[in-house]
A and B are shown apart, each in its own frame.
Chain A
Amino acid sequence: MAEEHIILQNIHKEFQRKDHAPTIALDDVSLTIKKGEFVSLLGPSGCGKSTLLNIVAGLEKESSGSLLVNDKPIKGPGNDRIVVFQESGLFPWLSVLDNVMYGLLIKKVPKEEAKSRALNWLQKVHLGNFAHAMPHELSGGMKQRVAIARALVTDPEILLMDEPFAALDEQTRMVLHKELDKLWRDTGKTIIFVTHNIREAVVLSDRIVLMKTRPGGIKNIFPVQAARPRSSSDSILIHLENRILTELEQEMEKVLKEELGSDYALKTDHLRVDPNNNMGSDI
């Protein structure tokens, strides 16, 4: 279990913009993820959490720094690391079954075997009856389950999830949390899960990486030590949720202050205190 699976060292990422100084999306991010670990990247929009995920996926290239997966540097996307996006991204011209088989056929799995493995995974996500449906016939939650099946059927070592449940309603999301938790415990995949939902991160993860903005980077890392399967009413989780929320609020306030002007304060009874206790340093 303690084996290091993904090692990020001093990752720096800038986006070039026309007529502007480059935007620093990620500044000096170092993170080590163990094999079979479920890590959430949590933070407000603009903190570079999706960028970090895309770099691990190979969809974007880091400006500097090093990224090792299984002690090897990565070159572009690969099917050892499959991404599940916020929108399912199912191919509308293929049936559900063909969508799930897509990755297997790329790996040159024989068609019959691919079919039976795809059906097997569709049953695991409770969509066995929808194998021959077209994507447009499914609801949002069902589509997302197909997307998860499509990713996991190829047996990737790493599953990267970019706010996979953000577009779903609360009930569907809770059901999918349970299902994902079970799939993760059954398969032992390494999962990096990007979210802006604190509860989601707390319920699912082994570790939560709280990200900060401008420049994007890691603010704090919280281990989640609670037994699984978890319930969101677990007192450990509630306590942790509040701790994270407090830190996140500071971060949010910074963002809002920059966007709405310096007189903005998120909390009405808030005294401006900076972490080094220098009173009034931000006036």
Chain B
Amino acid sequence: MIAWLAIALLVLPLLGILLSAPWPQLPGLLLAPETLQALGLSLGTGAISTLLCLILGVPLAVIMARSVAWSVLPRRLLRAAVTIPLVLPPVVGGLALLLLLGRSGILGRYLAQLGITLPFTTGAVVIAQTFVAMPFLVFAVEGALRGADRRVELAAASLGASPFRVFRTVTIPLVAPGIAAGAVLCFARALGEFGATITFAGSYPGITRTLPIASYLASQTNLNQSIALALVLLAVSVVVLLSLRDRWLPGVRG
């Protein structure tokens, strides 16, 4: 019974979008240049962010999985550091990024001397998305690593494989489903990213105005346009999540 209530809470708002969608005008709204531009930007930055999360996140997940052997304090600090983007309001995350990487930020001022300014660029969108989406990948991969049979790795090592070779040819294939699941969740989270992006990267059509930002701005003047954009986001997320095989989803063993 309570479970049904939970399902209702999760699903009914989405149903609200579907029911109030301006279906007759939808094709026009969806094919509007601003919509396509925002969709293209969102898909592109989401894909790059996911790739970055994979490159940076998988090694981090390995360290996280091995940290069981550490003493309590560093282990908890590491876990907290990885969890923070999940619980921090994204706008605060964006502000933090601005204070670090902005042109007068702690690191940003040195970048600026090299002629690199990040805020208000598509690169900033990618950084903001990577920041908020990384934990999804790390936790998915870490879970898979913990569940993996370490004896296979030990066997490979005992047969003379180097640690890197063990990682590449044994560990990675072993946790591939976890990596795939993490990447998909990561991509979905990056697509929906709003607060950190608008704070750190700003909002300019074609450069930093992703689908969620376009949808929010549209909601101020043209609710139909906003709902149309929200539908696109919803559709992409649903397709992405349905593409996952059950056993790749966190918490499902099959």
Partners in one complex: no
A: residues with CB less than 8 A from B are none
